[in-house]
Structure 1
Amino acid sequence: MNNMKLILLSILISLSSCKKDDNRTGPNQNSEQLYTNGQIYTVNPNQEWADTMLVRDGIIIAIGTNKEVENQASENAEIIDLEGLMVMPGIHDVHLHPLEAASDNFLFVLDAQETAPENYATDIIQAINQNPDSEWILGWGFDIYTLFDATREPIKILDDISTTKPIAIMEQTSHSVWVNSKALELAGINKNSANPVGGIIMKDDNGVPNGLLIDNAGNLIIDLAIASIPNNEQNDYDGLVNYALPELGKNGITSVCDARTYWKRNHHKTWQQAESEGKLTVRANLGLWLYPTEDDAAQISRIRSLYSNDPNSFLKINQIKLYSDGIVINTTSAMEGDYLIDLFNLPTNNGLNYVSQNRISKYIAALEPIGFDFHIHAIGNRGVNEALNAIEQSSNGNGRHRLTHVEYVLPSDYSRFSQLNVTADAQVAGDFTHPENWHETDSLIDSSLNNANIPIKSLVAANARLTLSSDWDVSKLNPFIGIQNAVTRAPQNISLNEAIKAYTINAAYIMRQEHKVGTLEVGKEADFIVLSQNLFDIQPNQIKQTQVLKTYLKGELVYKR
């Protein structure tokens, strides 16, 4: 009798579970879907448009006209009416920072539009009062020129708030950090401290650190601060799963490259946990951060041990992220000529190198044969040139390396991207990339250089492979802002077709998955999105208003508006 009760209870539980699963979408619920009545832009040059697509177990079985496709569907296929909406391949964003954008390790955000740094005190004091148990007070968001223009040294502003609690605030681009004296003390930084590789410790007229740490000097402080947070890895995980991944789906993004995976902070383990727990709703390639101050041999050995490239996994650790230089507004991007102002009184005034050309070459020679592709931050024309030189010197020809940002490129280097099979990865979603803002840095560099800022048209004309990405959260995540800006930023604009390719098949190539996704064609996995409007039927200045209605990853619905 007891056995019979157990059997009946088991059946009831099983039926209940099945009923709950009825709400699932994707190939696990119904292995075959026939999508009809759509405007399907395939990004396949041999068949650009279709109206019907058959997906079985997450794989595209047929695509074309309804007449061509419907007779290949089984009688059990689920028929989904696209209602005349535009469908396109899922977006690839190959340069973003989802863990940094979403983590709660930073306790407050400052208003970058604020021009009086003394006014930041209220927000900082509030953060201290609300987080009495925090060993460090970490914030984010100021504009560096707000501090350059301050009437007193930046360190004094923070020391008036606290000299016992270390305070570190990252600038909105992440290329400088503002600290108080306690933070400098814990980091061991004083008037006798030399500049670290790729960084600058700013000092007052007496040689005493003034509280501004430029580029890699600031990175070292942030590493120290985050290490003090007991639950920093859980914060990263919660941010990734509960905020970043849903935001990616909402924006139609099905593939990403984490553009700065801090392996010393176990960022890679955060991604691995999300995958192992079934929470990963994108394909992700991690770019392991190359620490400029690390011993080369030890770092190469550690990075080799982290390589992971399972073809059956959505998660791969097969890229390296490094900085060739800094950024132009800090006068740290590597330029061929000197800057017009001198902020740091160093022996040279044409920018800095996080990683020199020779070191980049060394790392490529050591890690490309393992299977790593390099993702190289290069903003200045010297930085771009040196990165191309390093690839030319050391690549065995099998790498799928890319330079990201490419804000200033020597015309003589345009053709080298194609010749060396190097991808140019650009970000044009930010306001500063609009042509009307190009000359805002004329006080820093030769104004003629700003006539072709981020020269995507010139690069495409030179047969360079172009990708477009967000650099989220430096710029907005919405890819349709990037697409609109790419096609409207004359004289450095490109066609709509080229812009879409830059977010799909070109990006799939650098993620080594162009055989799986990036276009909608027979045999590929069904990563696609449904849009609120047809991008080809509207005015270019309306593209950014496009909304993603549905996002599918390998045939499974991962977002619905």
Structure 2
Amino acid sequence: MKKVNRNSSSIITTLMISNLLLAGCGSSGTETDNIATTDDTTKPTSEIATQVYKNGKIYTVNEQQEWADAVAVKDNKIIFVGSNDEVQGYVNSSTKVTDLSGKMMMPGFHDVHIHPIESASENIQFAISVEETNPENFIATIKKASLENPGKGWLIGFGHSIFTLLDSARSPLAIIDEAVADRPVIIMEQSSHSMWVNSAALALAGFTKDTPHPTGGRILRDENTGELNGILIDNAGNMVMDIAMAPANESLQKDYDGLIEFTLPELAKHGITSISDARSFWKRDDHKTWLKAQKNDAITARVSVGLWAYPTADDTAQLADLTALYSNKQDSFLKFNQIKLYSDGITVNGTSAMLAKYNIDLIGIPENKGLNYFSQERIEQYITALEPIGFDFHMHAIGDRGIREALNAVENSGSDKGRHRITHVEIVDPVDIPRFAQLNVTADAQVAGDYTNPEHWHENDELIGAVRSDNAVPIKSLDAAGARVTLSSDWNVSPYNPFIGLQNAVTRAPQELTIAKAIKAYTLNGAYVMRQENKVGSIEVGKLADFVILDKNLFNIEPNTINQTKVVTTVFNGEVIYQR
């Protein structure tokens, strides 16, 4: 994931939050006199609100009552949704009343595919430009990074396009060795699906020209000499990054600091109150970072962690380890109740699993149809073993074969209790579109990245042809076929700002959604895949108070301006966690 520059001005300290709670909701509306309209002595205490919001345009995402003027909250629970007149019955002298002055309120956003720890950690020490087309120009940057991060330990970077390396006149390994030879260097490519490493890194990993390609990965070699060229595709790169990111006190502290000081405040600033950590590397102790945050009462979102299924692990041992990590306490903000696994890679690498071969071979496989991290049979094995425990599966699948095999695995495992989802859904064979609804498999799409917009669809024509490139991420077709669609970011691949995702979702004809369906995809549908649709995801009596107040009404503005919307206030579990 890309290294993020922290903006300290966006970080909300505990003291600031406390002051906001004491002061009321400030700029979200006008604080009114807390004068009861009923006799306090006769009104049952159970029906008196601690907080009332009125005079708003409240979009509930509840089909039985889509719009309301007012909401009453008692502690962390919604006790009334309705008119301005009726809400007065829930007010007494102790109730805090906020006049929304016509502003829009809606449920808090769910981002059910995000990388909240690795995207903000300063364990990635430097970045190189994805725009640079001559890899020789990276030498100075890598040398400088080594000087600025002295020692003999790993030097870890991010950036570049794999095509910059594949098109290099000189071996990429020779270039990176010229930059730094006396310590291991690994640089993650901008998609995160390949790594550029030097000879010292290859030696530590035990990779030689005779090393077999690992499951789900490729160790690239010079096509003339057979020598390694420093490019590791998909899981081959992940294996080396696991060595580079081996947990240590310093690295774990950087992970924690990034999560607490950047990620969680930024999520609150953008109205995101629930997330799925889409790839928790538990062998790197990512789960311990979450547990530390929970212990310190620092979590300001509902979190379902997707535990990473390692492709090269022994299945018996890994299934036992994952079972031991399961946690699903209903009153906890933190749950370890999802499994993240990859069916395939990505199209631009030639590693997404395709039903027909690629037109061009990028990774040295004759008649290449892509890679499998996990085969269909192995996915079935994992679902059969882990679904009864309570795990739901979050399956990365981009190619039409990868998507079909993931659907087959759900069908063949006899699944009837799982809430599984396939994420990315970029190239879907039309035959498989109805199967999402038939199998109750959620289609999770990321459209916040411009690369998913229709004007970019045919950039893959050279690899897979115009027909397969067309209609990428077919969210309208999936929705029309009855599939449950969720929208998410995959941050840091795409922006976490949900208003960018909403705008792209409603403007990407011919595969667009209505604004109402896009909002539902970011709220109630996300709540379903996190198994919390009875608690949050809509504004209804009995649900918990997770909602946001916006500076614009999303239904009354031009679709191409949705990305300019700002969150005024974010309320999580009844408390203000962000105030503009």
TM-score (norm 1): 0.95
| Structure 2 counterpart SS, 1:308 | coil
Task: Within 5 Å, give how 1:257-268 maps onto structure 2.
Answer: 257-268=276-287
- Which residue identity lines up with residue 34 of structure 1 in the other structure? V
Structure 2 residue 96 is matched with structure 1 residue 99 = no
Partner Cα separation in structure 2 for residue 230 and residue 434 of structure 1 = 42
| Structure 2 counterpart SS, 1:138 | strand
| Structure 1 counterpart SS, 2:275 | strand
List per-residue Cα deviations over 1:263-312 (Å, max 9, x = no partner): 00111110111111011000000000000000000000000000000000
| Structure 2 counterpart SS, 1:102 | coil
Task: Within 5 Å, give how 1:432-511 maps onto structure 2.
Answer: 432-511=451-530
Partner Cα separation in structure 2 for residue 103 and residue 131 of structure 1 = 15
The corresponding residue for 1:431 is: 450
Partner residue of 2:571 out of 543, 548, 552: 552
Q: Is the 1:25–1:557 contact (alpha carbons within 8 Å) kept by the matching residues of 2?
A: no
The corresponding residue for 2:380 is: 361
| Structure 2 counterpart SS, 1:452 | coil
The corresponding residue for 2:90 is: 72
Partner residue of 1:372 out of 391, 404, 407: 391
The corresponding residue for 1:52 is: 70
- Which residue identity lines up with residue 419 of structure 2 in the other structure? R
Partner Cα separation in structure 2 for residue 25 and residue 371 of structure 1 = 40
Q: Is the 2:350–2:363 contact (alpha carbons within 8 Å) kept by the matching residues of 1?
A: no
Q: Which runs of 5+ in 2 are unaligned?
A: 1-14, 25-47
Partner residue of 1:385 out of 404, 419, 422: 404
Partner Cα separation in structure 1 for residue 481 and residue 349 of structure 2 = 30
The corresponding residue for 2:7 is: none
Superposition deviation, residue 367 in structure 1: 0.1
Superposition deviation, residue 406 in structure 1: 0.2
Partner Cα separation in structure 2 for residue 73 and residue 127 of structure 1 = 60
List per-residue Cα deviations over 1:112-137 (Å, max 9, x = no partner): 11111111122211110011125010
Structure 2 residue 150 is matched with structure 1 residue 132 = yes
Count residues in correspondence. Answer: 541
| Structure 2 counterpart SS, 1:364 | helix
Partner Cα separation in structure 2 for residue 75 and residue 348 of structure 1 = 75
The corresponding residue for 2:9 is: none
Superposition deviation, residue 229 in structure 1: 5.3
Superposition deviation, residue 349 in structure 1: 0.2
Partner Cα separation in structure 1 for residue 520 and residue 337 of structure 2 = 23
Partner Cα separation in structure 2 for residue 38 and residue 92 of structure 1 = 22
The corresponding residue for 1:6 is: none
Partner Cα separation in structure 1 for residue 367 and residue 422 of structure 2 = 24
Which range moved further: 238-247 or 133-142?
A: 133-142
| Structure 2 counterpart SS, 1:486 | helix
- Which residue identity lines up with residue 316 of structure 1 in the other structure? K
TM-aligned CA distance change 1:134 to 1:233, over 3 Å: farther
TM-aligned CA distance change 1:26 to 1:141, over 3 Å: farther
Structure 2 residue 345 is matched with structure 1 residue 326 = yes
Partner Cα separation in structure 2 for residue 348 and residue 98 of structure 1 = 37
TM-aligned CA distance change 1:358 to 1:348, over 3 Å: farther
Structure 2 residue 206 is matched with structure 1 residue 188 = yes
The corresponding residue for 2:555 is: 536
Partner Cα separation in structure 2 for residue 231 and residue 395 of structure 1 = 44
Task: Within 5 Å, give how 1:156-195 maps onto structure 2.
Answer: 156-195=174-213
| Structure 2 counterpart SS, 1:291 | coil
- Which residue identity lines up with residue 77 of structure 2 in the other structure? I
Partner Cα separation in structure 1 for residue 23 and residue 525 of structure 2 = 26
Partner Cα separation in structure 1 for residue 381 and residue 260 of structure 2 = 36
Which range moved further: 65-74 or 532-541?
A: 65-74
Partner residue of 1:24 out of 6, 21, 29: 21
**Identical pairs, percent:** 56
Partner Cα separation in structure 1 for residue 254 and residue 138 of structure 2 = 25
Partner Cα separation in structure 2 for residue 336 and residue 376 of structure 1 = 18
Structure 2 residue 303 is matched with structure 1 residue 284 = yes
List per-residue Cα deviations over 1:450-476 (Å, max 9, x = no partner): 221100010000000000000000011
- Which residue identity lines up with residue 24 of structure 1 in the other structure? L
TM-aligned CA distance change 1:349 to 1:471, over 3 Å: same
Task: Within 5 Å, give how 1:118-129 maps onto structure 2.
Answer: 118-129=136-147
Partner Cα separation in structure 2 for residue 62 and residue 529 of structure 1 = 17
The corresponding residue for 2:323 is: 304
The corresponding residue for 2:356 is: 337
List per-residue Cα deviations over 1:177-212 (Å, max 9, x = no partner): 000111101110001100000000000122111000
Q: Is the 2:49–2:72 contact (alpha carbons within 8 Å) kept by the matching residues of 1?
A: no
Superposition deviation, residue 163 in structure 1: 1.7
Superposition deviation, residue 142 in structure 1: 1.0
The corresponding residue for 1:12 is: none
- Which residue identity lines up with residue 114 of structure 1 in the other structure? E
Superposition deviation, residue 228 in structure 1: 7.0
| Structure 1 counterpart SS, 2:212 | coil
Q: Is the 1:364–1:395 contact (alpha carbons within 8 Å) kept by the matching residues of 2?
A: no
| Structure 1 counterpart SS, 2:463 | coil
The corresponding residue for 1:142 is: 160
The corresponding residue for 2:170 is: 152
Superposition deviation, residue 64 in structure 1: 0.8
| Structure 2 counterpart SS, 1:106 | coil
Partner residue of 2:225 out of 186, 199, 206: 206
The corresponding residue for 1:41 is: 59
Q: Is the 1:32–1:57 contact (alpha carbons within 8 Å) kept by the matching residues of 2?
A: yes
Partner Cα separation in structure 1 for residue 539 and residue 202 of structure 2 = 53
